Amino acid sequence: MKKPPLPPFDDMDFVLLDLDGTLLDKYFDDYFWEHLVPEKYAEAHNITFGRAKEDLLERYRLHEATLNWTDLDFWSAELGLDIPALKEQIRHMIEVHPHVREFLALMRAKGKKVCLLTNAHYKAIEIKFSQTGIRGYFDHIVTSYEIGHPKEDIRFWEKTGSLIGFGGSRQRTLFIDDTEAILKTAKEYGIRYLLLKEKPASKELAGRAKKNSGLFPTIRDFGEFLE
């Protein structure tokens, strides 16, 4: 089946982008939460790695799609570990997906309003910006903590649209994310151009591969915008 064409740049005023899995390789986060944190938790509680991972995955699920989900301070208190410090230990693993910088530079050169919309905690964002140096590409950076709702919640979109101005330009806005549930909410809000970032992680941990329902057109590599 032939892949549908990408949205035309001339029809866009705003380019909204997710961070983890979309611009950045999600392998860092998958490894962190599913290997390093269980390892440190097992050491702290004198239990096996397998038991620690099973316990933690269940705890993660309880808070999925809530503000707690990516709140580093919440998880530090919940698990008795210094989560930001652990992230710093492996910050060398943080990588930008291929052709992302070129894509961001192109959007800036074309005069688009480039906005980062993320559920990530501000402490995680600071570590990732420090490691990758991509902060300067964005006109606006909006976190779910600033808005008070995760991106899966329509209230995030209502408040953010008013805050940075795309609320009146929904038909001239592109949003790219690696999570279908979030794209569904953006669609409900009325964003016209929606793309699902395929292969959010360069290396998939066991059981992490996402199934694509086919609801949204996809982009596998940001180089597709540069062709």
The rounded distance, in Å, linking the Cα atoms of 220 and 125 is 23
pLDDT value for 205: 67
Same domain for 199 and 123: yes
The rounded distance, in Å, linking the Cα atoms of 167 and 95 is 31
Same domain for 88 and 175: no
Q: Considering only 71-85, 125-139, 211-225, which range has the smallest mean pLDDT?
A: 211-225
The rounded distance, in Å, linking the Cα atoms of 90 and 34 is 14
The stretch 171-184 carries a mean pLDDT of: 97
Q: Considering only 3-17, 29-43, 157-171, which range has the smallest mean pLDDT?
A: 3-17
The number of helices, as runs of H, and strands, as runs of E, in the chain is: 10, 6
CB atoms within 10 A of CB 73: 13
Cβ burial 92-113 (10 Å sphere, 16+ → b, else e): eebebbeebbebbebbbeeebb
**For 150, how many CA atoms within 13 A lie in the half-sphere containing its CB?**
17
The answer to whether 11 is a known catalytic residue is yes
Q: What is the residue range of 202's domain?
A: 9-26+95-225
pLDDT value for 4: 62
Residue finishing a domain among 42, 61, 92: 92
**pLDDT at 66 > cutoff 60:** yes
Same domain for 108 and 81: no
> Which residue bears the tokens 């001239």?
172
**Could you report the per-residue pLDDT of 111-131, keeping only the tens digit for each?**
999 999 999 999 999 999 999
Catalytic residue (one of 10, 11, 25, 71) = 11
Same domain for 189 and 107: yes
Same domain for 67 and 129: no
Output the pTM of the full model. 0.94
pLDDT value for 1: 43
Q: Is residue 108 part of a domain?
A: yes
Please tell me the total number of residues recorded for the chain in this structure. Answer: 227
The rounded distance, in Å, linking the Cα atoms of 219 and 227 is 13
Considering Cα of 97, then 196, then 203, then 56, what sign does the dihedral take?
positive
**Could you report the per-residue pLDDT of 191-209, keeping only the tens digit for each?**
999 999 999 999 976 555 5
Same domain for 41 and 13: no
Residue finishing a domain among 92, 119, 145: 92
- 3-state SS, residue 219: strand
Beta strands in the chain (DSSP E): 14-17, 113-118, 140-143, 173-177, 193-197, 218-219
The stretch 21-27 carries a mean pLDDT of: 98
Same domain for 115 and 68: no
Q: Is residue 198 part of a domain?
A: yes
**pLDDT at 180 > cutoff 50:** yes
- 3-state SS, residue 75: helix
- 3-state SS, residue 80: coil
| pLDDT over 90, % of the chain | 89
pLDDT value for 3: 65
